[in-house]
């Protein structure tokens, strides 16, 4: 991750991306929003989320995602949207949930600099060992959503620590 926002005074913008933008990425957006606020960095880091597909544009998160988040005290107020090529200009870090999401976005990236913004979120999870993906819980059970949220929370905690080092050395 490049250190281009640290001295600009502009907030760092992070976008979380999954396939439909109704399960994993809105959970990640909500978790990261809470972590950023708790760290006193709301003026320094902005978060959003999107999906690679347009299937759920304008829809609320999956009820199972909402329930898993509620159990952990995470509030999700999101409407699904599709990631666009223009989002590469808007965001500094694009954290994807799985290899398919990464492949899709790398294919959309207008150049190598923009492609370098795309990172697998799970690689920031210190407990992930060799796992690099957060599995899509959509066809699973409530426990699959809870596991995904746990992985997302650990990954977002690691991502925030990395952002502080790479972009926000004075925070």
Active site residues: 18, 24, 136
Q: How far is the C-alpha of 10 from the C-alpha of 25, rounded, in Å?
A: 23
> Do residues 136 and 28 make contact, with C-beta atoms less than 8 angstroms apart?
no
Residue 6 class from Cβ within 10 Å (0-12 exposed, 13-18 middle, 19+ buried)? Answer: middle
Sign of CA dihedral 142, 46, 43, 78: negative
Q: How far is the C-alpha of 115 from the C-alpha of 71, rounded, in Å?
A: 35
Side-chain half-sphere exposure of 54, counting CA atoms within 13 A: 1
Q: How far is the C-alpha of 46 from the C-alpha of 14, rounded, in Å?
A: 6
């Amino acid at each position: 991750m490049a250190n281009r926002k640290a001295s600009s005074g502009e907030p760092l913008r992070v976008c979380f991306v999954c396939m439909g933008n109704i399960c994993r990425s809105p959970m990640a957006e909500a978790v990261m929003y809470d972590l950023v606020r708790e760290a006193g960095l709301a003026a320094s880091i902005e978060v959003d989320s999107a999906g690679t597909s347009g299937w759920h544009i304008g829809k609320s998160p999956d009820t199972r995602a909402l329930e898993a988040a509620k159990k952990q005290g995470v509030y999700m107020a999101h409407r699904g949207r599709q990631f666009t090529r223009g989002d590469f200009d808007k965001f500094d870090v694009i954290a994807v949930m799985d290899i398919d999401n990464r492949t899709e976005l790398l294919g959309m990236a207008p150049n190598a600099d923009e492609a370098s913004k795309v990172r697998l979120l799970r690689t920031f999870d210190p407990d992930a060992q060799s796992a690099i993906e957060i599995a899509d819980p959509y066809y699973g059970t409530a426990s699959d959503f809870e596991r995904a949220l746990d992985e997302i929370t650990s990954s977002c905690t690691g991502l925030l620590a990395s952002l502080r080092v790479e972009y926000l050395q004075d925070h």
